Structure 1
Amino acid sequence: MSTQFKFMTLPHRSGTVANVFIHGYSAGHDMEDRCALRKAIPSSLHNCINIFAFWPSGHWSQFDTFISKGIWATARVSPFVGAGAVAVDRAIHFNRSRNRASDMGKTLFKQLDSYLLEHHPYVETVNLVGHSLGGRVVISALRERHNNPPDDGLVVGDVLLMAAASKLSGDEASAFGKLIKGKLCNAFSSSDKILLFNLGETSAGRNPVDNCKNVEMTDFGHTDYWASLEKVLRNCGFQGYQSGLPASSLAQTMVKKPDPVVHDHLLYDLLELTSERIRGQVVKHLRTSSWANLETDQSLYLMAKELQLLGGHCMVNLARGRGLKYVQILLMLAEHYELVNEMHDCAQVIELEAILISQFFQSSFGDNHTLASRKDILQQVRAMSEKDYFEQVDALAASLTVTSYFSTPEAPAPLYRKTQSSQPNLSKAVALASLSRWSSLSTLIPTEQLQTAFTNLKSAVKPGYSALIPAVAIVFYARLKLNNEGLL
């Protein structure tokens, strides 16, 4: 498991003070959740630099493949024993994440200092906000800073612990108070039942702690802090919030049933702002699917809706009248191409798109295709003309059809090919032949190549995928060219 933080600076940054937010267990584990956490930061903090520090906290629903098989085998014998096995395994999983939070805290300031030096060298002060196990990360970081004083020159202002899943003694709090220039705040709630599962420790998130500024968040549950972050900041007198504009003074329009198409900002807003030429390419690829029903090129709403409908199970989507949000589609494709482990390195949507696009071209045309390189795909696409990139995506779309398994399309414009690769041809041949001869071929052909072949075949036969994949490649291009910070 990675021990690296993935830092992401939010839009609307200004000033020389950085607020660093750290999530807890079962949070920030995928792109959808990271987008939700970003939205929790109130506009009243726009006078600061706001940074999320994502770390591999794990998720309660993520089971190891071996463990999962063992639990299913146990459940077949007895549902009660199976349920007990799940409970024990999740307790072990949480304990591992708890230990990892402590380890991550020991490296927080070192990694943060490197990030600030590269991206925000003018930052003078950092405020820390940690929720749940994120609070444990912060406490561990302060403990490390106290035991081994650094020379990084960072000034720590306010430290806010929200529902901290960690013990904190009054003596430690007093020692930490001498390390920081601001307040050490402990936002706690005795109504937080989730912290009762933090066995073996009295969590600061449920109790006041001596030598802290204790702020009781009455009736708050464990998950209420991010949703009501502005209230927490106001009650605690958080430094960055005090100097900001109170967003609560602005009238907020509440939408009871938001339109899933219009409110998919990463897709709808992007398509609205991009050029007609690029939107035309999206429509062109969507129309190749028999599951799409686009009758006009002009309807932005229908274009976004049809793309959503191709995500997930097409029949289910058609029955309920809506598809998946764009970020959910990206996560679905990441699972399809077995790229789940790479998602920790993606703080922005465009970073996940870039990994997917390189995988699309690698699977269809081999490692030697220029766009198959994850390392420099952004630079390669920026260097391409619009016409050349569209031609490459057209070739990608052609390679995703079942008929392409009987004729091998090649990517056009050899200028963008490093060398010719025979892997695509072999992959298609393997995919067809292995339907009936998997065991014999597996001894002759590397497993990785067989997996690629089957993934390609699944992409060709899954309803809507042959249109969805090139459409996503065009959306990625639109995002890259638009370069709107709020939509990255």
Structure 2
Amino acid sequence: MDHNFKFLTLPHRSGEVANVFIHGYSAGHDMEDRCKLRKYIPTSLHNGINIFAFWPSGHWAQFDSASSGGVAALARINALAGAGAAAVDRAMHFNSSRNRATEMGKQLLGQLERYLLKHHPYVSKVNLVGHSLGGRVVVSALLDLLDKPDHEGLEVGEVLLMAAAAELSAEQAHAIQQRTKCKLYNAYSEDDLVLRFNLGENSIGRRPITSCEHEHIHDVSMAQFGHTDYWPRLEEVLRASRFHGYTGGLPRSNQPEPVDEVPDPVETDYLLHDLLELTSPTIRGQVAKHLRSSSWTKLEAEPALYPLTQELQLLGGHCLVNLARGRGLKYVQILLMLAQHYGLVNELHDCAQVVEMEALLISKCFQSSFGEKHVLASRQDIVQHLDAMTEQGYFDQVDALAASLTVTSYFSTPEAPAPAYRKSDSILPSGSTEIALASASTLSSLSGLVPTERIKAAVNNLKSAVKPGYSALIPAVAILFYARLKLNNEGLL
């Protein structure tokens, strides 16, 4: 199991203090949830650099093949036995994630220090915020500091534990405070029923740490807070604890906020809708061109923003199901679907932004269609090459990719054109602009390729060719990736 954090600096950064947020179990497990967590950080928290630390926390609904197979086998024999096996398996899964959180904590400050040195070398102090098992990560990191000299490690200013699924005695809290000189806030709620399942431990997320008030250790009671309330109501927790001197933001209104009973799935998909709205008509035209190549879409020659977004969503998932219910998938769900199609799920932990997920996916698409030597087949180099290409040069590459994803490509030999670069750019090794590789999906070319990987690539491309909408959806995503990079809007990355 990977023990590396994936750090992401949020927009609106300023100052020399970094606020580092760590999620808990069943959170931050995919791009959709990571985007949701990012939006919970209040815009009024601009007195520092806000960083999310994503870690492989696991998810209660994600079964590995061995677990799902065993549970399914018992369920076929007896439904109750299957349900019992599932409950036991999930309890073991949580316990594994709990142990992983402890180990991740020992790695946190070292990895964070290296990240800050590279991206924010002027940061002099960090504040730590952990929720649920993320609180356990923080506690483990601070306890690990107790065995190190005072001059080692980052300077910790304030620590906010929210519904922490961890034990911490008053003596340990005092030792941490003496070692780090930090202010420690423990936001807890006796109404948190989820922490009752943290078996074998008396979680500080349900109780105070100390029995008496301490100058630098504060227990903050969050009455009537459930376990999942802390992120959506983060501003209330920050205000109640006065974390990092937090006084910003408007007080919570006593009047109920207006709720859109049925939010529009098209307009609320800001990563797709807003991107298409802000990008150029030329790029929107390229997206529409590829979508119109599918018989599953009905688009006018120059579609408006709303139908263009809607038709792309409808190509995600099962087209017949989407047509029946009248809506498709969100853009991040489409990306996850394509990542599963190309066997990239394990690599998604390294993607903290949508644009990183797109880079991973599109480089894999070009690699699968044209081989590893194609200039856009490397995730590490794809952005560099794409920045140096002319706009039409990239569109030509995507056109070739689209041609390689059709059934007819298996009876011909489609090629990637020589990449067209701007004359002022010279990032490529000599001779690289002459690359024009045959499609790896062409069955007649398989004899000269490494069998396992290339046959696997050919099978993937064949699946893309026969699955409804994929041959149009994949090149459309490639154009959206280009649009996102060129727009460079931090809120849409």
* TM-score (structure 1 length as normaliser): 0.93
Q: Equivalent residues in 2 for 1:99-138 (5 A)?
A: 99-138=99-138
- Fraction of identical pairs, as percent: 66
> Cα gap change, 1:290/1:119 in structure 2, threshold over 3 Å: closer, same or farther?
same
> Cα gap change, 1:69/1:349 in structure 2, threshold over 3 Å: closer, same or farther?
same
> Cα gap change, 1:418/1:152 in structure 2, threshold over 3 Å: closer, same or farther?
farther
Letter in 1 for 2:291: L
Paired residues, what number?
A: 475
Report how far residue 423 of structure 1 moved.
6.9
Question: 2 CA distance for matches of 1:427 and 1:134?
Answer: 49
Give the aligned partner of residue 332 of structure 1. 337
Q: Equivalent residues in 2 for 1:141-156 (5 A)?
A: 141-149=141-149, 151-152=151-152, 154-156=154-156
> Cα gap change, 1:87/1:417 in structure 2, threshold over 3 Å: closer, same or farther?
farther
Letter in 1 for 2:471: S
Question: 1 CA distance for matches of 2:348 and 2:406?
Answer: 27
Q: Equivalent residues in 2 for 1:291-440 (5 A)?
A: 291-413=296-418, 424=440, 427=443
Question: 2 CA distance for matches of 1:13 and 1:427?
Answer: 51
- Cα RMSD of the aligned pairs, angstroms, is 2.1
> Cα gap change, 1:4/1:213 in structure 2, threshold over 3 Å: closer, same or farther?
same
Letter in 2 for 1:169: S
Report how far residue 446 of structure 1 moved.
3.7
1:236-262 per-position Cα deviation (integer Å, ceiling 9, x unaligned) = 1111523x4447589976433321111
> Cα gap change, 1:428/1:297 in structure 2, threshold over 3 Å: closer, same or farther?
farther
1:298-347 per-position Cα deviation (integer Å, ceiling 9, x unaligned) = 40111111111111111111111111111111111111111000000000
| Secondary structure of the corresponding residue to residue 168 of structure 1 | coil
| Secondary structure of the corresponding residue to residue 290 of structure 2 | helix
Question: 2 CA distance for matches of 1:396 and 1:421?
Answer: 11
The answer to whether residue 92 in structure 2 is matched with residue 84 in structure 1 is no
| Secondary structure of the corresponding residue to residue 158 of structure 1 | strand
Question: 2 CA distance for matches of 1:173 and 1:276?
Answer: 58
Question: 2 CA distance for matches of 1:16 and 1:250?
Answer: 35
Give the aligned partner of residue 15 of structure 1. 15
Q: Is the 8 A contact 2:135 2:164 kept in 1?
A: yes
Q: Equivalent residues in 2 for 1:130-279 (5 A)?
A: 130-149=130-149, 151-152=151-152, 154-210=154-210, 212-239=217-244, 241-242=246-247, 244-246=248-250, 254-279=259-284
| Secondary structure of the corresponding residue to residue 104 of structure 2 | helix
Question: 1 CA distance for matches of 2:264 and 2:2?
Answer: 37
> Cα gap change, 1:175/1:76 in structure 2, threshold over 3 Å: closer, same or farther?
same
Structure 1: 5+ residue runs without aligned partners? Answer: 431-440
Structure 2: 5+ residue runs without aligned partners? Answer: 421-431
Q: Is the 8 A contact 1:8 1:347 kept in 2?
A: yes
Report how far residue 445 of structure 1 moved.
7.4
Report how far residue 85 of structure 1 moved.
1.4
Give the aligned partner of residue 425 of structure 2. none
Question: 1 CA distance for matches of 2:319 and 2:404?
Answer: 21
Report how far residue 152 of structure 1 moved.
4.8
> Cα gap change, 1:472/1:422 in structure 2, threshold over 3 Å: closer, same or farther?
closer
Report how far residue 79 of structure 1 moved.
1.5
Letter in 2 for 1:473: A
Higher alpha-carbon deviation: 177-186 or 334-343:
177-186
Question: 1 CA distance for matches of 2:307 and 2:439?
Answer: 38
Higher alpha-carbon deviation: 388-397 or 319-328:
319-328
Structure 1's consecutive aligned runs of 4 or more residues displaced over 4 angstroms after TM superposition are: 247-254, 414-423, 425-430
| Secondary structure of the corresponding residue to residue 179 of structure 2 | coil
